[in-house]
Amino acid sequence: MDLLRSLPIGLYLEQPLTWLHKLDPRVKLLWLLGFLLTPIAANPFWRLLLVGLLLLLTVAARIPFRVWRRQMGLIMVFSLLLFLVTMLAPDGVNVAHKPRLPPDELILSQATVAPGRAADPENDPLAIANLPQPTDYQYVLFDQGAVHITRRSVELAVRVGALMFTLIYSTNLYLLTTAPEEITAALDNLMQPLRRFNVPVTEIVLTLTLSLRFIPLVLEEVQNLIRSVRTRAINWKKLGLRGTSQVWIMVGEKLIDNLLLRAEQIASAMQVRGFTSPNRHRVRWHQFRLRSLDWFVVVGLVGFVVVRVVWGGT
């Protein structure tokens, strides 16, 4: 089992280089914030539009099918399950439906009609109740046994399912087309105004860079420990619950020791190279320069926000 390949979500795609790779990471970060913030208090149509836009970006960027099939497949299955569970769950609207007229008043009105006299449609309550409805609106869409689907439950299901897909896949698409160093460099550039308030921007960005680089090391250590346990062919049935718990506790302790050892090695390497403070060792990030494609995408972001304000509200 290779955890670095079996968990493709959040990994950077080095080849092939698409036009999303070539965009300025600051512009892509602003678009990511747009995908994360615009679904707030938005109608279901806007959230479905975001899902379609993400799918269109994936196809337009010509990302290989073998890559986005594995990544999008897991997220799509999770979103569909969440959609079905929310749709079949109670909608939270507990309203008792009552007739428009009380039963006694209806009987009294029937008794007032003289025998042998034709009922007046304008004054007869039964005739009024039997008139066809002006529209085909129905609050309850499906009601068979334990399955009860209403308009409210469908709306909630669309909101929740589309929101989860947008939040997870937009972030995954950003990580897929942006290197970790570019992400930290973009954050360092956008957080420059915070230096006036004595915010340690360089320390924050450097910590983020190390954390992003440390994730593959964690997966590698977990993978090595799992392989070491499998190669020993342990008979788990003979160990029982207590013996199994002791084995996994020992594996967890070994994992923590290995991770602390890796962290100490990284700290020693940084000290040798002079990473003691931002004043003594200035970290040089990427030199950013907006090109014509970046400006075109920025204009598209402005139009995206305008459309959200005008048509995407609830």
> Which pLDDT tens digit goes with each residue over 145-187?
778 788 888 888 999 999 999 998 898 888 888 888 888 888 8
The pLDDT of residue 184: 82
pLDDT tens, 231-251? 887 777 777 888 888 888 888
* In the chain, % of residues over pLDDT 90: 14
**H or E segment at 115?**
none
pLDDT of the residue at 122: 53
Give 300's pLDDT tier (boundaries 50, 70, 90). very high
What gap in Å lies between CA 143 and CA 140, rounded to an integer? Answer: 7
Q: For position 306, what pLDDT does the model report? A: 92
Amino acid (1-letter code) at residue 261: L
Q: Phi first, then psi: what are they for 288, rounded to 5°?
A: -90, 145
Alpha carbon 55 to its chain centroid, in Å, reads 14
- Which residue's entry shows tokens 């992400």? 183
Contact 113, 123 (CB under 8 A): no
Chain-wide mean pLDDT for the chain?
78
Once rounded to an integer, what is the mean pLDDT over residues 282-311?
83
Instruction: Establish how many alpha carbons lie within 13 A of residue 42's alpha carbon, considering only the half-sphere containing its beta carbon.
Output: 27
pLDDT of res. 58:
87
Q: Which of 71, 77, 32, 26 is nearest to 186 (CA)?
A: 26
Q: H/E element holding 140?
A: strand 140-144
Query: Which of 53-62, 238-247, 267-276 shows the lowest mean pLDDT across its residues?
Result: 267-276
For 9-23, 82-96, 176-190, 272-286, which range has the lowest pLDDT when averaged over its residues? 272-286
Burial 45-75 (b: 16+ CB within 10 A, else e): ebbbbbbeebeebbeebebeeeebeebbebb
Q: What pLDDT score does 251 carry?
A: 86
Question: pLDDT: is 132 or 170 the higher one?
Answer: 170
Identify the band that residue 201 occupies on the pLDDT scale cut at 50, 70 and 90: confident
Nearest by Cα to 312 from 38, 34, 55 = 38
> ∠ CA 61-66-72 to the nearest 5 degrees?
70
